[in-house]
């Protein structure tokens, strides 16, 4: 059965565009059934409307509390009956009550090699830390910030003359294929998100999958639990 995707976004919608293209050409056996945003004028909302996808967008300051905003948005998410919620450039922290409505059904794309550098300004922080590698991660959303179980990562080298902007651009080139490959694996059943464990090809996943040069996911050569 085709996977029903709800996408949360706050920016220009390049990750949404990648998901839409992959659904259209069959790389993802799924359909984006709704796009939800805290930025009514953002590019992601415009892309969704142009594609005829139902949207819900409201400024966060339209309601008194974060909890009230989350409740309104996730009521709208519930209405489209998603199988998977994808946070693709969604910049608001989601409160615990909203996350508990969709246990292990929500994933996030984050621009670092988690567990290193959760939160904001990751590219500058990588340079300041002197890291040799940077990248992006897809993880299950839990109430703690960027702390959910890791599903997959894509790595890029940090070059000696990198600026934060140059590094961000290099990471962005791998973010789209990473997100598409992860969602495609969930849609196919190859990657299964369980409450007690995550399974890859029928076995418990003990280390994040890695995105290869061919844009396919696979187990790292030597699965470990150590930080990147």
- Pair 43, 70: CB distance under 8 Å: no
Q: Find the helix or strand (DSSP H, E) in which 106 lies.
A: strand 106-110
DSSP 8-state class, residue 172: H
| Partners of residue 96 on adjacent β-strands | none
SS (H, E, C) 15-50: HHHHHHHHHHCCCCCEEEEEEEECCCCCHHHHHHHH
Three-point CA angle 41, 46, 50, nearest 5°? 155
Determine which one of 110, 123, 134, 139 is catalytic. Answer: 110
176 is an active site residue: no
3-state helix, strand, coil in the chain (%, to 5): 35, 25, 45
Sheet holding 191-193, edge to edge: 191-193, 198-200, 203-204
**Catalytically active residues, by annotation:** 110
């Amino acid at each position: 059965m085709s996977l029903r995707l709800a996408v949360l976004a706050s920016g220009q919608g390049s990750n949404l565009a990648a998901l839409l293209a992959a659904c259209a050409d069959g790389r993802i056996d799924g359909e984006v059934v709704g796009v939800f945003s805290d930025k009514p004028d953002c590019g992601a909302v415009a892309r969704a409307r142009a594609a005829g996808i139902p949207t819900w967008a409201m400024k966060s300051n339209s309601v008194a509390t974060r909890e009230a905003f989350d409740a309104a948005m996730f009521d709208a998410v519930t209405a489209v009956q998603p199988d998977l919620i994808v946070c693709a450039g969604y910049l608001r922290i989601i409160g615990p009550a909203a996350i508990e409505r969709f246990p292990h059904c929500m994933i996030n794309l984050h621009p670092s090699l988690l567990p290193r550098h959760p939160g904001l300004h990751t590219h500058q922080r990588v340079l300041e830390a002197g890291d040799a590698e940077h990248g992006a991660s897809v993880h299950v959303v839990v109430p703690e910030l960027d702390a959910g179980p890791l599903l997959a990562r894509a790595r890029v080298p940090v070059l000696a003359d990198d600026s934060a902007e140059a590094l961000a651009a290099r990471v962005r080139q791998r973010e789209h294929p990473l997100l598409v490959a992860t969602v495609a694996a969930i849609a196919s059943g190859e990657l299964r998100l369980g409450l007690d464990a995550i399974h890859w090809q029928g076995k418990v996943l003990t280390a994040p999958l890695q995105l290869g040069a061919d844009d396919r996911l696979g187990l790292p050569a030597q699965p470990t639990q150590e930080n990147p």
